[in-house]
Amino acid sequence: MNRTFDVVVIGAGPGGYIAAIRAAQLGFSVACCEFNSYDDPAGEPRLGGTCLNAGCIPLKALVSSSELFEKISHHLEDHGITVNGLHMDVLRMQKRKESIVDRMTGGVQFLFRKNGVTLLKGRASFAGRVDEGYRIVVRSKDGDEEVLAKKVIIATGSKARHIPNVKVDNETICDNEGAMKFTEPPKRLGIIGAGVIGLEIGSVWRRLGAEVTVLEVMPSFLGACDESISRQASKLFLKQGLHIRLGVKIGQAKLTESGVSISYTDDQGAEHLLECDRLIVSIGRVPNTEELNLEAIGLQTDERGFIPVDDHCATASSGVYAIGDVVRGPMLAHKAEDEGVMAAEMIAGMKPHIDYGSMPWVIYTTPEIAWVGKTEQQLRSEGRDYKTGQFPFSANGRALSLGDSDGFVKMIADAKTDEILGVHIIGSNASDLIAEAALAMEFRASSEDVARTCHPHPSLSEAVREAALAIEKRALNI
Ligand code: FAD
Ligand code: NAI
């Protein structure tokens, strides 16, 4: 007799594990399937998906360690602090990263036990429909188990996109998985793709001493950001020694005695060869759907491999939802989590809603870049009248005392109604500052609402208020 669950979630990344927990909170019997052991020595599935095992969390651990190293190496003199004999133990840094990952993935196991979520260890695929739901086969080294699900949430996430003539071995030529495991900083690091991963991982190894060259196919840098932010980021990254070549066409990568050589054509058509010790390929990600046997339940992916869903993440098969990286929209952990909650609440007959327009983005470089809402260039192309206010961290006392005064906050509001349409930050702690802007936009606040809200002094958040004040040309500290 097959086990039956009210809800079966496929994939235990931030989308899937949050969906499973929310569904359990709502009183359903829930199972969640996961197979990926992410190199677990015992071969046990590790929960938390890309985010906890090979993405957000390990990368931010490395970002923090490398930022500290750079700060101590170069930015303590003004504080009157001299450090002699500074040494970076990369193996120790990697151990710290791994212990954070262990703790977080173990935490998800704990949450499953606490909420009564059954973990089904193995690869899940659809076997067909039955009157009361769906047949799902979970394949593992111990054999196959077929379970029945009244409702299904697909949360199988994504994997790195590769290019045919650049073969990833995750030793010399790496995607996100290998690129975070180096045991020493490469002397010369090549990166294909100046997107979020390229810039974050590239900055980690640059801070630890690598000479980093980034090869980007697009003629412009950080095209998704407000253009004022991209300009400032480009200047700061250049000053930090990151070499970024735009408008290139990648040729062939070849392993050499010392590492790898990669040929490319620049924007003028000239041919080049980049010799490096290691190469990272970070050119976007593709959804994981090929193992699901979606045809068995009458579903098809779109031309890019995503599962088509409506605004509430419902697929064309009744009672089957799909969330996170496997569906349209930004590939972000917090987007996957919010969709997980929404799918579980839809199953419970509630009326959840996600405002994708007030979903924040962060890039964890130095300084951090964060934004929510629309950019100036988007608003111009929509023909919308708007006003802007900008405030630099160099006029903020807290930023000066932290020694992190690069960057600014820019707020954009509707010219007539004053509703906030976008907030763009480049600066220290932008990842935390942007939450205030996201909340303001979720409540459809005006710039005046933020300008009239008392902010703590001295704090970086005062720069957000000053940017709001600057919209009416009444910033007080500049
Ligand atoms: P995933 O996290 O990919 O999880 C899907 C899970 O499903 C996986 O564990 C997989 O093994 C499992 N699975 C797949 N197929 C099956 C199957 N057939 N049966 C059973 N299980 C299956 N986002 C941010 O918001 N902030 C960041 O700072 C950030 N940093 C990142 C850094 C890197 C290097 C990378 C690669 C990504 C980063 N992201 C970040 C993106 C974020 O990790 C993803 O958006 C997020 O993990 C997507 O969650 P998900 O649940 O949809 O999928
Ligand atoms: P990305 O989409 O951010 O950037 C890929 C870059 O590679 C783009 O600039 C693209 O123009 C370029 N590119 C594509 N094909 C190329 C080619 N053939 N040659 C040269 N350049 C090429 O993708 P990335 O960096 O791989 O990250 C994947 C996703 O993971 C991101 O989109 C993001 O959603 C998520 N992520 C989020 C983070 C965060 O929130 N802080 C951190 C890291 C990843």
Atom of ligand 2 nearest to the CA of 195: 4
Q: Are residues 373 and 413 in the same domain?
A: yes
Ligand 1: does its nearest atom lie under 6 Å from the Cβ of 168?
no
Q: Are residues 403 and 366 in the same domain?
A: yes
Atom of ligand 2 nearest to the CA of 330: 34
Q: Which ligand is nearest to the CA of 216?
A: 2
Last residue of a domain, one of 320, 354, 388: 354
Ligand 2: does its nearest atom lie under 6 Å from the Cβ of 148?
no
Q: Are residues 177 and 248 in the same domain?
A: yes
For the chain, 478 residues long, the average pLDDT of each consecutive 10-residue run is 95 98 98 94 94 98 98 94 96 98 98 98 97 95 96 98 96 97 98 98 98 97 97 97 97 96 96 98 98 97 97 98 98 98 98 97 98 98 98 98 97 98 98 98 98 98 98 97
Cβ distance 455 to 462 under 8 Å? yes
Whole-number Å distance between alpha carbons of 25 and 28: 7
Per-residue model confidence (pLDDT) at position 4: 97
CATH label of the domain that carries residue 455: 3.30.390.30
Decide if 476 is inside a domain: no
Q: Is 103 exposed, middle or buried (0-12, 13-18, 19+ CB in 10 A)?
A: exposed
Per-residue model confidence (pLDDT) at position 1: 77
Strands 173-174 and 188-192: unpaired
Q: How many domains does the chain have?
A: 3
Q: Which ligand is nearest to the CA of 294?
A: 1
The yes-or-no answer on residue 457 being catalytic is: yes
Atom of ligand 2 nearest to the CA of 198: 25
Q: Are residues 143 and 291 in the same domain?
A: yes
Per-residue model confidence (pLDDT) at position 39: 87
Ligand 1: does its nearest atom lie under 6 Å from the Cβ of 173?
no
Model confidence, pTM: 0.98
Per-residue model confidence (pLDDT) at position 132: 86
Residue 114 is part of which domain span? Answer: 4-159+286-354
Distance 52 CA to ligand 1 centre (A): 8
Ligand 1: does its nearest atom lie under 6 Å from the Cβ of 248?
no
Q: Which residue of 196, 262, 263, 304 sits with most ligand 2 atoms within 8 Å of its CB, as the best mutation to test the pocket?
A: 196
Q: Are residues 454 and 424 in the same domain?
A: yes
- CB-side exposure of 416: number of CA atoms within 13 Å? 2
Q: In sequence order, which residues have a C-beta less than 8 Å from that of residue 223 and are 6 or more positions away?
A: 230
Cβ distance 6 to 150 under 8 Å? yes
